[in-house]
Amino acid sequence: MRVLGIETSCDETSVACVGPDGVASNLISSQVDLHAKFGGVVPELASRAHLTNLLPVISVALDEAGWTLDDVEAVAATSGPGLIGAVLIGLTGAKTLAWSRGIPFVGVHHIEGHILANGIDTPMEFPALALVVSGGHTETVAVRAPGAYRRIGATLDDAAGETFDKTAKLLGLPYPGGPQIQRVAVHGDPTAVPLPRGLARRDSLDFSFSGLKTAVRLAIEALGPDPAPQAIADIAASLQEAIVDTLIDKTRRALRVVDGVRGIYLAGGVAANGPLRERFAALAAEERVAFTPPRLGYCTDNAAMIAWAGRLRLLQRGGDAFDLPAFARGGLPSWADA
């Protein structure tokens, strides 16, 4: 089945063509420049940009895949969670296209897209454990099979990506902050600034980054105006180390709780972080479970993951009704038998 996927949940307008041979195209029109001067995504501007970009991006994605509209057999789109206005543009576009062509439509949970993207290049091993780390989410999900999810830990306050982004902003680094922190951290000493590891001593699978965020803010304020580049690099390296330590520690604990895990996976934008990928690979080797670092283009928001996940569900369960609502927030529902 040849599926056209649409992702517009935040600041990327993305369209992908995915067929039986895999990803035929995956176009991402980034709005980073539009939002950079505001230091974060402005929801109304994002919606307007999606509206302007969607049809041209669909047509380039079809061209790159060597498809025409006649080749599209189903349409998948992110139905949430995300910025509601932004989600609505892609979801409505997908429904309209599917309805006008008389083909099935499926709404995909954004986090499910991130998780199942791990299977695009290499088949995933199930039961699996997925660490979802994006701008808005930090959670651990036990995945028995595609469509069978159980959340076993989640952040009690801020997300890992948000902690990267807010710290970068305080350091005067551009948006999005995660890649900038990683870049600057290369020159820093990760032990230079002592920072807390949230809920480290608690026997819990949940995460907390608010204490870390406050501690790093105080450390930055203590530097005074115009901090030296080395001081900025030390803070970046120490923050990155604290976040990665916490994520690895909680994943190791989760492996003790979920039986028979055969593969561990990273999902979401923060999965692009180099040190996190290296430490995750070391953990997988230590625990003798499979892990393949996801391709960078499939970590941050993209439509290939939506088309891929949508296609799996369409093949197993069929599509959704056209009155499927968009949603801003909400957990990951299972659609396969538990």
Binding positions for Zn ion, rule: CB under 5 A: 134, 301
Q: How many residues does the chain have?
A: 338
Q: Which does 158 bind (CB under 5 to 8 A by kind): Zn ion, ligand KG4, none?
A: none
Q: Report d(CA 43, CA 112) in Å as an integer.
A: 22
Classify strands 148-154 and 138-145 as parallel, antiparallel or unpaired: antiparallel
Task: Output the smallest distance, CB 214 to Zn ion, in A.
Answer: 25
Q: Judged by CB, which is closer to ligand KG4: 5, or 177?
A: 177
Q: Which does 176 bind (CB under 5 to 8 A by kind): ligand KG4, Zn ion, none?
A: ligand KG4
Q: Token pair of 235, please?
A: 């803070």
Using the CB atoms, write b or e for 298-307: b if 16+ within 10 Å: bbbbbbbbbb
Q: Judged by CB, which is closer to ligand KG4: 129, or 243?
A: 243
Q: Judged by CB, which is closer to Zn ion: 138, or 238?
A: 138
Q: Which does 263 bind (CB under 5 to 8 A by kind): Zn ion, ligand KG4, none?
A: none
Residue written as token pair 């969670």: 81
Q: Judged by CB, which is closer to ligand KG4: 110, or 311?
A: 110
Task: Output the smallest distance, CB 248 to ligand KG4, in A.
Answer: 14
Contact indicator for 3, 105 with CB cutoff of 8 Å: no
> Could you list the residues that contact ligand KG4 (CB under 6 A)?
10, 134-136, 161, 164-165, 176-179, 182, 268-270, 272-273, 300-301
Question: DSSP 3-state assignment of 165?
Answer: helix
Task: Output the smallest distance, CB 131 to ligand KG4, in A.
Answer: 13
Task: Output the smallest distance, CB 75 to Zn ion, in A.
Answer: 20
Q: Which does 310 bind (CB under 5 to 8 A by kind): ligand KG4, Zn ion, none?
A: none
Task: Output the smallest distance, CB 214 to ligand KG4, in A.
Answer: 18
Q: Judged by CB, which is closer to ligand KG4: 146, or 176?
A: 176
Q: Report d(CA 294, CA 8) in Å as an integer.
A: 21
Question: DSSP 3-state assignment of 211?
Answer: helix
Phi, psi (rounded to 5 degrees) for 316: -90, -35
Q: Token pair of 318, please?
A: 């069929």
